[in-house]
Amino acid sequence: MFPRVEGEFQCNIRVISSLVIGICVLYVVISKTEQMIYEDSRAGLNMTDLLLINGDVLTMDPENPRGQWVAVEEGKILAVGSGNAPGEYQTPPTRVIDLAGKTVLPGFIDAHLHFRALAESLATIPLGPRSGVTSICDIVDRIHDEAKDLPPGSWI
């Protein structure tokens, strides 16, 4: 797949870099276009799906640490506030839940792990960006380094 030069792999960094940059630019253009279309289609509208009222809302934001209501649109927090929720968030299709003083933690993430993924990470060569791999050449080097310590014919 890669041309060999004196037994080692040679990577064409310019071609790979150009492809990566091109993909990144395409992703940004598509993302921005979709966002603009979405914003244009909903201009001036608050389409709140869910309104949680009368709660103790902990926002984790030092500027606005607590609130009493949360407006949710398409699974994302639209607004948090204190006092009565503005009428603009209470449209006919909005589901309103009275929390009766219960606590809400917006953005709370359940930390857990998947045993299969953990086992796989312990039994494989780390080839992701977090392990310092930034190119195909790095991948080839990591596999080469792992293979040189194994007997011939071993699986990597």
Q: Which CATH number characterizes residue 61's domain?
A: 2.30.40.10
pLDDT digits (tens, 9 = 90+) for 80-114: 999 888 888 887 788 899 999 999 886 666 777 78
Model pLDDT for residues 18-59, shown as the tens digit of each residue = 667 767 666 665 666 555 544 444 444 456 789 999 999 998
State the total domains in the chain.
Answer: 3
Same-domain pairing of 65 and 88? yes
The answer to whether the Cα torsion of 137, 140, 141, 142 is positive or negative is: positive
**Distance (Å, whole) CA 152 – CA 149:** 9
Q: pTM for this one?
A: 0.42
pLDDT of residue 46: 55
Q: What is the pLDDT, as a whole number, of residue 129? A: 87
Where does residue 52 rank: exposed (0-12), middle (13-18), buried (19+ CB within 10 A)? buried
Residues 51 and 98 in one domain: yes
pLDDT tops 70 at residue 4: no
- Looking at residue 12, what is its pLDDT? 58
Is 80 exceeded by the pLDDT of residue 17? no
Q: Which domain holds residue 51?
A: 46-104
CA distance 24 to 41: 26
Residue 130: CA count within 13 A, CB half-sphere:
3
**Do 132 and 154 share a structural domain?**
yes
